[in-house]
Structure 1
């Protein structure tokens, strides 16, 4: 067993635990991310608002992906994300 395989085997229980926590508390995690983003945005006086929002959205997406069970990707494959099909209307 190689180093990477050994590390994966050791970290697997932690990954499962994080996924369970993301499923159970995803909404609270999202609220905490929003609160942290607002605090940082206020302290930087809006100078980095677009970057803060982008980072917050990416973090929420990661929490959402962690919280999904295997096979629940909604047909998006491994890329995940919230990209819409090219012909769909934006809302």
Structure 2
């Protein structure tokens, strides 16, 4: 499987399972927030939002 095929497969999966992707991003953000003792909550939340937006755009779904 070539790079383009893998990229297309990732786009399809993200588009089909956007709710699961969002949950995963939120869990990762919560993990990072816990590890930093809540010192960077605002920045982590902003990063989560940007990542979700980027993944939605990559997966072909607009907000």
Report the Cα distance in structure 2 between the residues aligned to 1:49 and 1:25, rounded to whole angstroms.
26
Identify the structure with bigger relative contact order (alpha carbons < 8 Å, sequence gap 6+): 2
Q: Which structure shows the bigger proportion of residues in helix conformation?
A: 2
After the TM superposition, which parts of structure 1 deviate over 4 Å for at least 4 consecutive aligned residues?
none
CA RMSD of aligned residues (A): 1.8
Of structures 1 and 2, the larger Rg is shown by: 1
TM-score (norm: length of structure 1): 0.59
Unpaired runs of 5+ residues, structure 1, are 1-9, 74-81, 83-91
Unpaired runs of 5+ residues, structure 2, are none
Number of aligned residues = 62
